[in-house]
Amino acid sequence: MIFSKSNAQVRIFKYALAVWFTISLIQFVAATFFDQEINKFFGELMEYRWIRIFAWIFENSGDMAQPVLFYFVIFTIFFESIYVYCKKNNKFHIWIWIYYIFIFLTWIYVHVKNYFSFVGIDDGFGPDISAWFFESYEICRYIVIALAIVDTIILLAFFYYLRFKFVKRKDVIENAYWLKSLKTFISAAGLTLIVWVLKLTFLRPYYYQTDFDNILNNENLVKQEWKDYYLNEGHNIMKWGKGLLGNYGSKFVPWFEITDFPNGWKNFISGERGDPGYNFLYADFPSGHMASTYSVFYALVFFYDKKLHQNYTKRYIALFCFWMFYLNLVLSTQLITKTHWLSDLSFTNVLGVLWPLGLYKIINKIVFKIICKKISKNNIQVKGLVIIRNKSYHLMVIHNGNVYDLASAGIFFPVIGKVNKKIEILMKKYYIKEIKTVESKE
């Protein structure tokens, strides 16, 4: 069970998540009816230049810097954990260094490629002018360089710690960090995959597209020469709106309507220009930026040290608070830049909180089945534990100090008789030789 220790500090996580989930669900329901009014209120802030640039930082961070950094660190934790398991194998020692060299070269390539993707670009408002942020792409390049420097320092710090400090820890095997990194990766990658499947299925227009006629005529955002360029020739380069000149806003589409399916998938696979679907201009629901931000949350969840919770919980609470603050900044900037509707963002929040709960048990069952097969060959006993609380039960197995959730039933399931039957089935399936039952009033 995630955060299964019962103490006042850990309950902070549970209560905070419950409150955040409830707020997000209320936002989602409200936005279903008032998306346009809510986005109009936030969209007006785009007229302030410093807010535009601030939002541009978060746009670039979510697009490239944050996801790549996260996955590289998670991969490295996984491979370093495997290295500890195979420490006697000198060949693996060579491969781990090859891995570091490959990752670092890939890191440089990704950021160089990202920088040059903003060089010599014309997206309809003139050469080197962003039609979305209404500034020169020179500012964007400075942002990309700054993020690359900061992220490289963070990556190198992680690499140093993992290569020279982490591998010397005595609890690497005991705490199964390879499994924690695997759970984090599957949760984050799985959420991203679901988000993109929904994006290409629903093909929802961005608020930017639906409001493009007002944007094009807003003198506080669009200079006259940019407007003239777009109407004369820019619309042939990138048509942001509807109509012959692309100067009319698209129709508002609520999140629950599927638009032009399956053309989004066809354009995505073929890479051809389509309307909608080209450059994902009509792929707004749900939010990819929010999904990327939730990857950090999954790391906090799965790397939480249950045995040392009294020492680490305050640190985790601080990290959780920072993540929550950052998440809300991402949410706000997406609304301000007209990149997402509130329903897109709040739905991703609801999905992001719920997603690891079911996945957690699935991964535990698969991984523990593999572990059981291996250790049973060495005649190592596997011990199980059943906790019965009122009209519910929770079955888990403890191996090397790690808890693997296998089964549970709530108040809607008959407990008497079913527990014993379930225990017998699971004992055979997972080679459990000894099991202990504990009744709890909590």
> pLDDT of 66-124, one tens digit each?
788 999 999 999 999 988 888 755 667 888 999 999 999 999 999 999 999 999 999 89
Q: In degrees, to the nearest 5, what angle opens at C-alpha 90 toward C-alphas 160 and 173?
A: 60
Longest dimension (CA), the chain: 79
Mean pLDDT, residues 410-414? 49
Mean pLDDT, residues 402-420? 58
> pLDDT of 343-362, one tens digit each?
999 999 999 999 887 777 77
Report the alpha-carbon distance of residue 39 to residue 42 in Å, rounded: 5
Residue 80's pLDDT is what?
Answer: 92
How buried is residue 407: exposed, middle or buried, by Cβ count under 10 Å (0-12/13-18/19+)?
Answer: middle
Residue 369 neighbours by CB distance under 10 Å: 14
Q: How high does pLDDT run on average in the chain? A: 83
Among the listed residues 342, 349, 350, the one whose alpha carbon sits nearest the alpha carbon of residue 42:
342
Residue 1's pLDDT is what?
Answer: 45
> pLDDT of 298-312, one tens digit each?
988 888 765 555 555
Mean pLDDT, residues 372-379? 64
Residue 412's pLDDT is what?
Answer: 44
What confidence category does residue 318 fall into, taking pLDDT thresholds of 50, 70 and 90? Answer: confident
Residue 274's pLDDT is what?
Answer: 47
Among the listed residues 192, 186, 195, 194, the one whose alpha carbon sits nearest the alpha carbon of residue 360:
186
Mean pLDDT, residues 22-28? 96
Best mean pLDDT range from 160-169, 173-182, 260-269, 428-437: 160-169
Residue 345's pLDDT is what?
Answer: 96
The answer, yes or no, to whether residue 326 has pLDDT greater than 50, is yes
Q: Strand, helix or coil at 432?
A: strand
Residue 431's pLDDT is what?
Answer: 67
